[in-house]
């Protein structure tokens, strides 16, 4: 069987490995030994018991896959380096995701993409009187929603460089998010950025000083693409995304596929988008296995988006269609259950 190495066990890598484990000799390399439903991790900050519901061991659904826990240091045209071992491949899938990159030093907290990191913040949130959220995009708004839903007496400030929250969404969604948070006494500062820190105060571009016991960074996402820099440096764009063709292959390298946050496909980087890319990549890998060259092309399309505002409120967006309130919150709950079900059976 052809050797398929998959780097990254998030939405894209784990699902692809599951779908192809009977057709390839698959090796999954991940920094952790479980799949984690990342859209649900913010609730862990206020409900730490929710963490257990979000994790499924890779071994539970990948019964024919070799699983290696470690960090890939380097990718070459024929192998990957992990834990001081070279793993050979015929086909490679890079699905390494992204992370938040701090712009200033000495942040109290950098918002991570793991539930375990959120667990470490639970007590800090409980004891904090003032909380600063840097960034009013999807993550920043959901974070504020979770905290205000659980705590009624926190002084929460959002600093957002654009003039609207969740700026890539329709006006109705932006206005609802703003009204929801302001009703809960969240202070929103628009058209500014946090650029420095002085003791327990954070300084914005206008010189405004914001006192905060804890600060969450929800801007500055950087693709995890360092592993290709030694051998494929020319395949990175100006924002460090991996250049990816319409078949979801690294440009000029037909045996390497790039999925999810780390590729340069122009679309919202969500779990749903990653799953759509997986479905196409699976078809193309099956065609390559049969020595076919006429591959399927991926077309980025608008996809439904659900933004949670605590447990019982939210926003559903599809193109210019917007629903707000309890229904989106319930839909988000169903999506979480449905996604995790895929990995259990």
pLDDT by residue for the chain (345 residues), tens only, comes to 999 999 999 999 999 999 999 999 999 999 999 999 999 999 999 999 999 999 999 999 999 999 999 999 999 999 999 999 999 999 999 999 998 876 655 555 555 557 888 888 899 899 999 999 999 999 999 999 999 999 999 999 999 999 999 999 999 999 999 999 999 999 999 999 998 888 879 999 999 999 999 889 888 789 999 999 999 999 999 999 999 999 999 999 999 999 999 999 999 888 889 999 999 999 999 999 999 999 999 999 888 999 999 999 999 999 999 999 999 999 999 999 999 988 776
* One domain for residues 84 and 123: no
**pTM attached to this predicted model:** 0.93
* One domain for residues 129 and 260: no
Question: Can you give the residue range of the structural domain that contains 265?
Answer: 3-99+221-303
Final residue of a structural domain among 219, 238, 258: 219
* One domain for residues 112 and 194: yes
DSSP string spanning 36-105? E-GGGGGGGGT-GGGGGGGEEEHHHH-TTSEEEES-EEEE-SSEEEETTEEEE-SEEEE---EEE--SSS
Give, for 149, the enclosing helix (H) or strand (E).
helix 138-150
* One domain for residues 285 and 236: yes
* One domain for residues 89 and 121: no
* One domain for residues 80 and 164: no
CATH of the domain at 232: 3.50.50.60
Cα separation of 71 and 8, whole Å?
9
- For the chain, the domain total comes to 2
* One domain for residues 129 and 236: no
199 contacts: CB under 8 Å, gap ≥ 6:
none
Cα–Cα–Cα angle for 65, 113, 79, rounded to 5 degrees: 40
In a domain, 316, yes or no: no
Q: Is 161 helix (H, G, I), strand (E, B) or coil?
A: coil
Q: Is 189 helix (H, G, I), strand (E, B) or coil?
A: strand
Burial of 103 (0-12, 13-18, 19+ CB in 10 A): middle
In a domain, 263, yes or no: yes
Cα–Cα distance list, 78 to 203, 221, 292 (Å): 48, 29, 21
In a domain, 297, yes or no: yes
Final residue of a structural domain among 219, 239, 256: 219
In a domain, 134, yes or no: yes
Final residue of a structural domain among 219, 240, 258: 219
In a domain, 312, yes or no: no
* One domain for residues 93 and 110: no
Q: Whose structure tokens read 């993550």?
A: 139
């Amino acid at each position: 069987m052809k050797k398929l190495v998959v780097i990254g066990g998030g939405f894209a890598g784990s699902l692809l490995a599951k779908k192809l484990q009977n057709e390839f000799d698959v090796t999954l390399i991940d920094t952790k030994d479980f799949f984690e439903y990342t859209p649900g991790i913010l609730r862990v900050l206020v409900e730490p018991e929710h963490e257990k519901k979000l994790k499924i061991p890779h071994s539970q659904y990948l019964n024919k896959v070799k699983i290696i826990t470690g960090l890939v240091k380097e990718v070459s045209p024929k192998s990957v380096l992990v834990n001081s071992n070279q793993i050979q491949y015929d086909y490679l899938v890079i699905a390494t995701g992204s992370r938040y990159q701090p712009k200033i030093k000495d942040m109290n907290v950098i918002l991570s993409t793991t539930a375990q990191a959120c667990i470490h913040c639970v007590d800090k949130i409980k004891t904090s009187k003032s909380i600063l959220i840097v960034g009013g995009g999807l993550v920043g708004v959901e974070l504020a929603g979770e905290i205000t839903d659980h705590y009624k007496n926190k002084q929460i400030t959002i600093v957002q460089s654009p003039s609207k929250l969740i700026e890539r969404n329709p006006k109705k969604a932006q206005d609802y998010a703003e009204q929801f948070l302001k009703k809960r006494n969240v202070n929103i500062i628009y058209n500014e950025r946090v650029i420095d820190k002085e003791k327990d105060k954070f300084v914005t571009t206008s010189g405004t000083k914001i006192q905060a016991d804890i600060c969450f960074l929800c801007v500055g996402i950087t693709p995890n693409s360092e592993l290709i820099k030694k051998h494929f440096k020319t395949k990175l764009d100006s924002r460090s995304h991996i250049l990816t063709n319409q078949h979801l292959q690294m440009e000029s390298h037909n045996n390497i596929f790039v999925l999810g946050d780390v590729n340069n496909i122009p679309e919202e980087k969500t779990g749903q988008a990653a799953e759509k890319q997986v479905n196409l990549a699976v078809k193309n890998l099956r065609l390559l296995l049969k020595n076919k060259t006429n591959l399927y092309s991926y077309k980025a399309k608008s996809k439904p988006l659900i933004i949670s505002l605590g447990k019982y409120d939210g926003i559903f967006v599809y193109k210019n269609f917007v629903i707000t309130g309890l229904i989106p919150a319930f839909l988000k709950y169903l999506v979480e259950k449905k996604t995790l079900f895929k990995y259990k059976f």
